[in-house]
Structure 1
Amino acid sequence: MSSHTRWFGILCGLATALIWGVQSVVSRHAMLTGLSPADVTILRFVSASAVLIPWAATRIRPFPVGSLGWKRAWFMALLIGPLYSLILVGGAHFAPALHSSIISPGLIPVFTALLVFLVTGERAGRMRLAGLCTIVLGIAIFSRDALMATPSRPDAWIGDLLFVLIAAMWSVFGLLARRWGASSVEVTVASCVLALPLLGLVALALPVHMAQVPLAEVLLQALYQGVLVGVVALYLYARTVAMLGAAKATLFLPLVPVVTAACSALLLAEYPSPTEIAGMAVVIAGMVLAFRSPSAN
């Protein structure tokens, strides 16, 4: 690997962590400005589809499901489509932005290891298991204020539970994508395009407020959630994996909560409590240990 390739891969990994880290802040900002989870979900999938469809229509056959097939593609769309977005953004209504980037990314490797063991019997190696246990301990410390409903975090426990559900859904998705040999591009295209007919149900069943919100806020959510998170970050992470390898690409993930914490303080004036700072440090340490360790003995 040339020095140029390595450094470009590092830049792609850093950019991915930056986009994912700021996403929690943007989602929380949407709730604070009067948008609803339905608004953000509709804007996310419409804008992502507007970018992806012209490109994918001539490259993915059959469109839009590709090698996934219709049944598997629909299952993916139901798993990580509008429902996933509604739960994720709904959590941002109750909990500060930092909670999303700590709880969900932290628990994804924990739930994934548990699912792999239940399905295949593969056990995590000792060092990885130590890292996963450290993550669980860190999240318990981090969520102490929310679980005790302290005055500074009265309803955050609701958001935290939703973020736990997000981690479980993403773990199931990751396991199925690996077993089915699905490419990230095909999964993204299929889930976005098949989400479009479901958005009508979202608009009918849940409140939509975007007509009462300034246009700038609507455009921010469409561009950030749909284009940057839904398309650009996917491309950048895929490039990171291609140039550095999957194992090294995961080492950028612990940067996500650091980015979120800094942006939450600067843009939302949301500051973590001492307990949350301690929990975040433990979670990040556990993530680094788990990602650097062999997956099995």
Structure 2
Amino acid sequence: MNARLAPGPAAFALMVLLCAVWGFQQVAIKIAGAGVSPLLQVGLRSAIAAVLVFLWMRLRGQPLAARDGSFRPGLLAGALFALEFICIFVGLGYTSASRMVVFLYTAPCFTVLGLHLFVPGENIGWRHGAGVLLAFLGIAVAFGEGWGATASMPQRWIGDLLGLLAAIFWAATIVAIRATPLARISAAKVLLYQLAVSAVVALPLSWLAGEEGIRGELTPAVLLALLYLGVVVAFASYLAWFWLLTKYLASRLMVFAFLTPLFGVAFGVLLLGEPMSLLFGLAAALVVAGIVLVNAPARRPASR
């Protein structure tokens, strides 16, 4: 495996930008949901982004059919990627968004553990583990007020379980990328595997599940939201994310994912007029503290 570097200021800045993009994704999903059913959204955004990644690779002259041993691991990563989003969208039918986010963002915890066990060079110490737990505590605090919001849902445990499974699939995707030949191929090809498999799985699944598909009017807002999900999120941001994974230690990058739901809340406050409590400020401080703890350089022993 190629050695990975500890991320620096430029990688930190890019990760914060990506988390903001992913945080706004929740607003876009709500807007697109007025005209397109959930599983169809997953399939369409994956299909749009897959076409763009294919064109990107052709323009850059990157080979698609090279014998690099990536086909089977690529299919595995794609299946895990598709299962993650299917669990999220189906699970939201059983539980609240706040509970789903809490369970989904256990993913960095599973990721650093999986990387520690299966990927040489991604070992974590007590400080990194403590930082991940501190950041997760921030997420739990941020969404703690929403825990009673689904008392009328007697089967909310199903949604909670699906949220936890989505987190495990997300973590497993990252571990699969780092522990297999996918770690040695281009970020674009890694992403293409995932998007292509996701589209192939989600589009027919939407029909088999009896979804409405296109519902209501395809307003400009709905179409722009779909383009945001396909072009900005699934193409540009995921391409940047997988490029980062080819350069830097995934365990150090993954903890930044805890910022995503905080950005989601912030966008909800700014764009949807949702209230924000003092707990949110405390939660943000805990998340930032956890990120700093994970990524702070280790002290060198004093020379005698």
Q: Tell me the amino acid that sits aligned with residue 113 of structure 1.
A: V
Q: Determine the structure 2 residue equivalent to 1:184.
A: 187
Structure 1 residues 238 and 61, CA gap change in structure 2 (3 angstroms): closer
Kept in 2, the 8 Å contact 1:149–1:155? The answer is no
The DSSP-based 3-state class of the residue aligned with 2:68 is helix
The DSSP-based 3-state class of the residue aligned with 1:210 is coil
Q: Distance in 2 between matches of 1:238 and 1:30?
A: 25
Kept in 2, the 8 Å contact 1:9–1:240? The answer is yes
Q: Determine the structure 2 residue equivalent to 1:75.
A: 76
The correspondence of residues 275-294 of structure 1 with structure 2, limited to 5 A, is: 275=279, 278-292=282-296
Structure 1 residues 157 and 228, CA gap change in structure 2 (3 angstroms): farther
The DSSP-based 3-state class of the residue aligned with 1:60 is coil
The DSSP-based 3-state class of the residue aligned with 1:67 is coil
Q: Determine the structure 1 residue equivalent to 2:197.
A: 194
Kept in 1, the 8 Å contact 2:26–2:264? The answer is yes
Deviation of 1:8 (Å): 7.0
Q: Which runs of 5+ in 1 are unaligned?
A: 1-5
Structure 1 residues 161 and 272, CA gap change in structure 2 (3 angstroms): farther
Q: Determine the structure 1 residue equivalent to 2:27.
A: 25
Q: Determine the structure 1 residue equivalent to 2:89.
A: 89
The correspondence of residues 88-237 of structure 1 with structure 2, limited to 5 A, is: 88-91=88-91, 94-96=95-97, 104-105=104-105, 107-119=106-118, 124-149=124-149, 161-182=161-182, 183-206=186-209, 207-237=211-241
| TM-score, with length taken from structure 1 | 0.74
The DSSP-based 3-state class of the residue aligned with 2:65 is coil
Q: Determine the structure 2 residue equivalent to 1:36.
A: 37
**Which is helix-richer, 1 or 2?**
1
Q: Distance in 2 between matches of 1:268 and 1:152?
A: 24
Deviation of 1:43 (Å): 1.7
Q: Distance in 2 between matches of 1:9 and 1:112?
A: 19
Structure 1 residues 41 and 219, CA gap change in structure 2 (3 angstroms): same
Q: Distance in 2 between matches of 1:199 and 1:150?
A: 27
Deviations 1:142-184 (A, max 9, x none): 4544444467999987655544322211111111111114143
Q: Determine the structure 1 residue equivalent to 2:3.
A: none
Kept in 2, the 8 Å contact 1:35–1:213? The answer is no
Q: CA RMSD in A?
A: 3.9
Q: Tell me the amino acid that sits aligned with residue 287 of structure 1.
A: I
Deviations 1:268-289 (A, max 9, x none): 3333455555445434432332
* Residue number among 11, 14, 17 corresponding to 1:15 in the alignment: 17
Deviation of 1:44 (Å): 0.8
Deviations 1:90-127 (A, max 9, x none): 4556534x66666534x222112332455479863121
Q: Distance in 2 between matches of 1:252 and 1:135?
A: 9
Structure 1 residues 85 and 238, CA gap change in structure 2 (3 angstroms): closer
Q: Distance in 2 between matches of 1:42 and 1:157?
A: 26
Q: Tell me the amino acid that sits aligned with residue 193 of structure 2.
A: A
Q: Determine the structure 2 residue equivalent to 1:3.
A: none
Deviations 1:190-228 (A, max 9, x none): 122233432442132220332423242442343111111
Structure 1 residues 92 and 118, CA gap change in structure 2 (3 angstroms): same
Q: Distance in 2 between matches of 1:123 and 1:55?
A: 34
Structure 1 residues 209 and 246, CA gap change in structure 2 (3 angstroms): closer
Deviations 1:28-75 (A, max 9, x none): 3334x2532112112211211221223335523317xx6353322221
Q: Tell me the amino acid that sits aligned with residue 197 of structure 2.
A: L
Seq. identity, %: 24
Q: Tell me the amino acid that sits aligned with residue 62 of structure 1.
A: A
Kept in 1, the 8 Å contact 2:64–2:189? The answer is no
Q: Distance in 2 between matches of 1:223 and 1:99?
A: 27
Structure 1 residues 170 and 119, CA gap change in structure 2 (3 angstroms): same
| TM-score, with length taken from structure 2 | 0.73
Q: Distance in 1 between matches of 2:96 and 2:291?
A: 22
Deviation of 1:24 (Å): 2.2
Which shows bigger deviation, 278-287 or 123-132? 278-287
